[in-house]
Structure 1
């Protein structure tokens, strides 16, 4: 594993050891959703400027800028974090500045300056995928709390959470046909976290849902393909879907099995999630975290000397 800044080697070797370090034993879906904007569980293609941290469980290909506010970082688990975290390879010529990149390999070239780049990383991609799939199933099983909607007039779509229950409002819909056309004119969320469960395998979002709320999750628990052609201001959870983001952008997160991103993602999830069983972190992930802790300990000892 190597650590380097652009044009400057920081350290050559990382000894993997778990002695004397705190151990993370699970992947927390809430932490990932609240710190990454784009979460691609498999391969990812970036064809647009974007403005939130990126997690990729497969390979990253892209030639555009990633500018997370305040050079923010997403966290997979303690010791596994960065503005861009990629389990596989980074190809193309993405541009970052003053950012942290964690990747398996880099066959392309990262443009920009003052970036801290780590290669040879062991990112627990399978555990992250399991956590997101489990979350989608758990949300889909929640009981409808009586949220209301009116999709009869495409130009006057309305969606209201109602009071919800224990901080959560749930609306269960068998189809996403209402998302194809129209404009969301009336929206209200007073419950806290608002979960909209939508069935169907092939979803096209052409309606203008530009009333942003980063406490709202649209959970596409059956989708295998989703195409977004308009502004969509709510979180998209679609862990089994090929997700194509074509226009409008979003101020909150997106999760897909694979993602082709041609528009901007600008935010993360800010709500709460119901308690779900944690996904154990695999041994390789524990070794990585232990190794990072060991390296930090060596650094502290050198300073003390």
Structure 2
């Protein structure tokens, strides 16, 4: 059975699996991306902009990579049935089918080798843990969790909002107690294909994952951008960017490199096709070709390391049939 919320793409020797928990209108643009001029939204309907409500359309999604014989999960969504006061309807007591999507992709939690949290916001750490009879334990018991040291220091400190402390206590602190956390800063190599790089501004420790395999290049950009409108208007930050000036400077730097090196830009929350190339347009940036993910059939065998890849996942640049 095909599941449209589980999609695949091949980049060099790396298989990328997209798990989409939800895809819907979010906060009003004036609240979420307040500095974006209204006329910039028009060309983004309907995949990224809902004109009748004035709301951007975004996705809550996770990226699962099969690279070098290992399984790597990038960001873990918002979790399920969590206490997130003040965050309704998006995160407070929201139910999630994340584990079902993971199983459809042929992956069991115990088979995940590495978990990457690009930063420690609510919608990037929720499935780090699950409730085991009143105790939060790692969802991926055999994985090493790569956590930005700057974010860990910030969110484990005293100068945070109560909800941020709650998020840290149920989704990050249990990883430390289980001895599964690896704190890193500046640069960390995951394997021959993947490296983590610091990209601060959205949070103190925000990061990106760069993929280099064969002739393919990609950057998993976390919350560097929430909407493709920020490619057109890169100085415009989301309301959740903690250091507005640094966030804009980091965004321009990563976009420039993506354009110059033909990296596929894969942010955490883009709706529609989810990823695209960036082009230069004089002194500005423009939207290039979108990625062509293939919806995934359920695995023919139980989820696990022996589960085969689908027979014909698309490679980057493969035209639609």
TM-score interval for Structure 1 and Structure 2 normalised by the shorter chain: under 0.3
Q: More helix by proportion, 1 or 2?
A: 2
Normalising to structure 1: TM-score of the pair? 0.23
Which structure would you say has the larger Rg? 1
